[in-house]
């Protein structure tokens, strides 16, 4: 079923295969009819993850990039919308030569074509394919049928891992019926699992494994306990202890090419920090009416980037989620006084903006380390324009007409069409000012980071801001990429999303510098 942990399970399997020396890539199949995740609410679906080519995709693609240390493209996310759109366009061009277009073979052929195309590009040896959704969903059926066909067409090169649930009763008994019924449903569709990864609260008991193996027709070694872990980065090591990679490689006729231990070292460092820092994330997707998991999923990459920085620096960030609307009606000197740093993330729309700017002002005036991301940079510019330049009512044109549009849609250099009418998505380069905080953080004057935004800093106000101390130290032509305050211990705001390129063992430079600045403040 959805939300069970298929993405983390698949990513962990990929990591184990990488540790054996194989080149691994991944595909996420989302059965929804949306073309991509770009218009989905973070409350409902978690964050929208942006790939290097600008693809807006499901957050599981972010887990794949982090676990496998790869860069994927929009082709690695297959949705019902993409498949049907392609098939209909082919039909309109007459490519089916007058045939009746049907789910079988035309839709299933398009699914298989996309899987094969991604699997065979880039010199990869193994491709993980996660089929999202729940067994029995109507929308999943074409994808499951395509998997059945692939099993025969790619005989010997396909291995099915079925992720199921074994709930625990109040008296501690592990129930196997949900797994039995799920596997029965899959077998009715012609899909026999080669391995069953069982999500459970505590490790599966030997008798539970034996029962699942007996009723689901798999060897007992193929029943893997995926019990709860303290952190998702512990899951690969947990699955290794369960013997998952040994069994999988035996069945797939694979031999170890290497034996990397860097993930073990990463987890060891993560589990033994030198200290901790307290960070407040002031966002609009942290409403108290929503569950904590939803809050964290809305800012998943930020949470992971902070974790990566914490592992590298030795200081574990303890995150508190602050609702920007509550801060708007509260006192920042009370709500924010305990924190070593303040982070304002991206977002769209006017809700919560005044509260976020209160957080920016507090960080600026109290010399608290500040990291602003995308919208967090734009609001830092607006707050500076209002409270330092004295431009009353300065704002972004995203929220309507304003006398001082310090954030606005900018005309394109080559034409009359407004650039902000379409979003700036994916990788863009930036040139950094030598000697600036940005330059020190990155150790280079030229960088590439990922973007997802529409509005830009208005060049008409840049000179006035820089005269007062807000320096735009990163630029892409006339586009402002980084803002910093020179007489502040750490005030760094970026138009891009540095969290999207952060990796375990290779943290994002701004996040690492932010955590180190918080640790210095805490030490003082």
Provide the token pair at 90: 């082919």
Distance CA 157, CA 129 (A): 13
Q: Is 36 helix (H, G, I), strand (E, B) or coil?
A: coil
Antiparallel, parallel or unpaired: β 456-457 and 446-453: unpaired
Q: What is the pLDDT of residue 421?
A: 42
Distance CA 361, CA 322 (A): 15
Antiparallel, parallel or unpaired: β 341-344 and 275-283: parallel
Q: Distance between the two ends of the chain, CA-based, in angstroms? A: 49
This model's pTM is above 0.85: yes
For the chain, give every domain's residue range. 1-158, 159-253, 271-523
The one catalytic residue among 398, 456, 497, 516: 497
The one catalytic residue among 56, 456, 481, 499: 499
Judge if 1-158 and 271-523 fold alike in CATH terms.
yes
The dihedrals phi and psi of 123, each to the nearest 5 degrees, come to 70, 25
Distance CA 331, CA 335 (A): 6
Just give the CATH number of 271-523.
Answer: 3.40.50.880
* Radius of gyration of the CA atoms of the chain, in A: 25
| Per-block mean pLDDT, blocks of 10 residues, the chain (524 long) | 89 96 95 88 82 93 96 95 96 93 96 94 91 87 96 94 94 93 94 96 95 96 96 96 96 93 95 96 65 68 97 96 89 94 88 91 97 96 96 90 89 41 86 97 97 93 96 95 96 97 97 98 93
| DSSP assignment letter at 257 | S
Distance CA 214, CA 439 (A): 61
The one catalytic residue among 145, 374, 383, 451: 374
Verify whether residue 499 is a known catalytic residue.
yes
Distance CA 451, CA 497 (A): 6
Q: What is the pLDDT of residue 264?
A: 95
Distance CA 306, CA 66 (A): 13
Distance CA 362, CA 160 (A): 53
Architecture of domain 1-158: 3-Layer(aba) Sandwich (3.40)
Verify whether residue 226 is a known catalytic residue.
no
Sheet of 77-79: strands edge to edge?
77-79, 24-30, 126-131
> Counting beta carbons within 10 angstroms of the beta carbon of residue 40, is it exposed (0 to 12), middle (13 to 18) or buried (19 or more)?
middle
Verify whether residue 329 is a known catalytic residue.
no
Just give the CATH number of 159-253.
Answer: 3.40.50.300
Distance CA 490, CA 206 (A): 53
Q: What is the pLDDT of residue 293?
A: 52
Q: Which of 193, 208, 199, 246 is nearest to 226 (CA)?
A: 199
* Angle ∠(186,192,194) on CA atoms, nearest 5: 125
The H or E element spanning position 177 is helix 177-188
Q: What is the pLDDT of residue 285?
A: 62
Distance CA 504, CA 267 (A): 10
């Amino acid at each position: 079923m959805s939300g069970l942990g298929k993405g983390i399970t698949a990513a962990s399997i990929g990591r184990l295969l990488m540790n054996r020396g194989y080149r691994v890539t991944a595909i996420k199949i989302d059965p929804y009819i949306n073309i991509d995740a770009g218009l989905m609410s973070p409350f409902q679906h978690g964050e929208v993850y942006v790939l290097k080519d600008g693809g807006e995709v499901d957050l599981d693609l972010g887990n794949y990039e982090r676990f496998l240390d790869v860069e994927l493209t929009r082709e690695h996310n297959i949705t019902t919308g993409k498949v049907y759109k392609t098939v209909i366009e082919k039909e309109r061009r007459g490519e089916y030569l007058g045939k009746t277009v049907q789910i079988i073979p035309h839709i299933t052929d398009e699914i298989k074509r996309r899987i094969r195309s991604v699997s065979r590009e880039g010199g990869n040896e193994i491709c993980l394919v996660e089929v999202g959704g729940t067994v029995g969903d109507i929308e999943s059926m074409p994808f499951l049928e395509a998997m059945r066909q692939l099993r025969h067409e790619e005989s010997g090169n396909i291995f099915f891992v079925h992720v199921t649930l074994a709930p625990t009763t109040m008296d501690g008994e592990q129930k196997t019926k949900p797994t039995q019924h799920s596997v029965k449903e899959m077998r009715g569709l012609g899909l026999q699992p080669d391995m069953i990864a069982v999500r459970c609260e505590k490790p599966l008991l030997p008798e539970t494994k034996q029962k699942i193996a007996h009723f689901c027709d798999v060897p007992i070694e193929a029943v893997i306990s995926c019990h709860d872990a303290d952190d998702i980065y512990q899951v690969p090591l947990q699955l290794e202890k369960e013997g998952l990679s040994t069994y999988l490689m035996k069945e797939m006729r694979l031999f170890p090419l290497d034996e990397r231990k860097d993930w073990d070292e990463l987890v060891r460092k993560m589990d033994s920090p030198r200290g901790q820092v307290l960070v407040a994330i002031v966002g609009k997707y942290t409403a108290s009416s929503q569950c904590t998991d939803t809050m964290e999923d809305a800012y998943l990459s930020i949470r992971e980037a902070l974790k990566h920085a914490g592992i590298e620096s030795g200081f574990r960030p303890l995150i508190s989620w602050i609702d920007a609307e509550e801060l708007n009606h509260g006192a920042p000197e009370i709500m924010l006084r305990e924190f070593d740093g303040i982070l304002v993330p991206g977002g769209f729309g006017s809700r919560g903006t005044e509260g976020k700017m209160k957080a920016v002002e507090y960080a600026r005036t109290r010399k608290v380390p500040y990291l602003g991301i995308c919208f967090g940079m734009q609001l830092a510019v607006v707050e500076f324009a209002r409270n330092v330049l004295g431009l009353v009512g300065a704002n972004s044109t995203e929220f309507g007409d304003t006398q001082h549009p310090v954030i606005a849609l900018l005309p394109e250099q080559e034409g009359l069409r407004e650039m902000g009418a379409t979003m700036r998505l994916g990788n863009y380069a930036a040139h950094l000012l030598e000697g600036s905080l940005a330059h020190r953080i990155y150790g280079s004057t030229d960088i590439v980071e990922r973007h997802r935004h529409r509005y830009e800093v208005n060049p008409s106000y840049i000179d006035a801001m820089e005269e007062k101390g807000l320096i735009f130290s990163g630029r892409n032509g006339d586009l402002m990429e980084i803002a910093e305050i020179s007489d502040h211990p750490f005030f760094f705001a970026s138009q891009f999303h540095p969290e999207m390129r952060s990796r375990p063992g290779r943290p994002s430079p701004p996040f690492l510098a932010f955590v180190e600045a918080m640790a210095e403040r805490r030490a003082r």
